[in-house]
Every structure is written in C-alpha cells, then in structure tokens.
Amino acid sequence: MTDVGRATVIDDPIRGYRHLDPLPSDAELDEFYQSAYLDMIRSGQRFPESRRLLSVGDEADSERAWLRATLHADVLDALARHAPDGYRSIVDVGAGIGEFVASAAEAGWAAVGLEPSREAVDIAEAKGRAVVCATLEQYLGSDRHNVRPGAAVTTNVLEHVLDPAALLRAIHGMLAPDGLVVVRVPNDFNPLQAMAQAALGHDSWWIAAPDHVNYFDHASLRRVVEAAGFETVDQWGDFPMELFLLMGDDYIADRGLGAACHARRQRLELRLDPDARRAFARSLVPLGWGRNSIIVARARPPA
C-alpha cells in the first residue's frame, strides 16, 4: 500500500494490478473531468503530450512529427506484422483530437476514433479527422458499428476507467476473428521510479488522483489483457524518462527541466534507426523499465 497525501494505492491480488482505495465513484470522476481535467492538461499537470498538441505553432508541429515518427509508426508497424491479411480497419478508443486516427488513415487504414469529450471531437472534426463523440458502449449500441474492425487501439485510457477488464472484454467482443488490440498505459511503480525516489527523496509523483484510478506495470498489463481473452504477440516500453532524474535532471523539483528533457528524448529517438529503437524498446520489458508499457495482443476465440 502506498499513501501520497490523501491518495492511497493498493496492490489488488484479485484484480491483478494496483488501484486507488477507495475507488472514486462515476459521479466523482465525471465532475473532475468536466470541471478540472482540460485545465490541468493545458497547465501541464496531466498528459503533457496532449498539452503540447493543443498548443499552436512550432511546439505542436514538433510534437506531432515526433509522435508520428515514433509511437504511431511503432504501433502501425506492429499491426502490419501481426494483423491477418486483409485486416485494414481500426477503432481508436479514447482518440482525443484524433492524432493517431490521422496517422492510421495516412498509412492506409480505415480508421475511426471514439472520444467522449465534445471539445476534443470538435478539434478533431475541424482538422478533418474521423472521430465520433461517443464512448465504446455508445458506439457499439449505434448503427455506426456495422463492421467488426480488425484492430483496436486504446492509448492511456485503462488507467482512467473504473473497470479496465470490462472495457477490454468489450473490445474483444467488437473485434473481427483474430483481431488485434494495442494498449498503452503508464508503467508505474517501476524499478527506475524506485531508484529515483530513493536517490532524490520525492513522494510517489506518478500517483495522480482521482483520474489515474489504476496503476499498471508490464506484467500486470499483460495479465489483465490476457484475462480478457487475448494472447500477447508483442510488448515494449517507451523511453525511460526516469533516467534523467538519475542523471541529475530533477524535473520533479524543477518543472522547467521537463521540457528540456523531453526535447533531448525527441532528438535521440528521431536520430536512432527505427529498428534499433524498437529493439531497445522491447529490451526494456524484462528490466521493468519504460515510462509507458505498450502491448499488442490477438483476440482468442471465445471458450
């Protein structure tokens, strides 16, 4: 059990991952997202990728180019390698402003995004991206859901929902036979965080209540995905940002260092050969390292 302020995180042996205790209610989460979440993104307190993409000018352009050349390219590469022949349709669950939808469409996928935030959907639509204002449940109950997609992506969503297993089961039921799911979540309570915490004496800065309800690492993400009816075919970690902390760039104490560290990461990843960068990312999983964990899994037939 970990306490930070009034937030308590427990390791739940039944669910197989860590989560807040007590869990917030649906009403508490709805109120938070309606009243505070977007302002916290814009101020840099949550999901810095989104804050940079919501800005204008060079910062947004640089972030978009980096994401497309790294995360998006890596996900699309994994899908191309593992998807059955002819599977070229994809649903992005929690699509935000549709950045991945745009990358997938440019790569030849029939891509649609689902996003419950009306504000985010308005931005996506203004950019010509196929993003629907709906939750997965609403989408599955609508006439828009008339083809079973070959793949689904959900990026930084499972940590926010009260029942990740239920969401994964719904995705499993939506997919075409042998379809693929790609899941990305923060890799929290990882060994590098523990080393940095011991060296610098900070509280557990990665705990973000009440919106980060669940806390996964590489192993627990794999467990929950496979328990929902999938078979893992690939997994990797992205760049372990905690290395900067251990090298003396304390972006926890000095938030101004965060942008400089992020820029150094971008330069490194854009200069690396993509195959070498992907091999490095996969090598992080046995170590437990990586700021995020990304898994690719194939839907098994129902028992």
Q: What digits encode the pLDDT tens for the residues 102-123?
A: 999 999 999 999 998 888 899 9
Which position has the higher pLDDT, 260 or 50? 260
Residue type, 28: E
Give residue 137's pLDDT.
93
Strand partners, 7: 4
Sign of the alpha-carbon torsion through 178, 183, 189, 194: positive
Q: What digits encode the pLDDT tens for the residues 68-101?
A: 999 999 999 999 999 988 889 999 999 999 999 9
Answering whether pTM is above 0.85, one says yes
Classify the phi-psi angles of 189: left when phi > 0, otherwise alpha if psi is within -120 to 50, otherwise beta: left
Please name each of the domains of the chain with its CATH number.
2-87+150-189+202-241+272-299 (3.40.50)
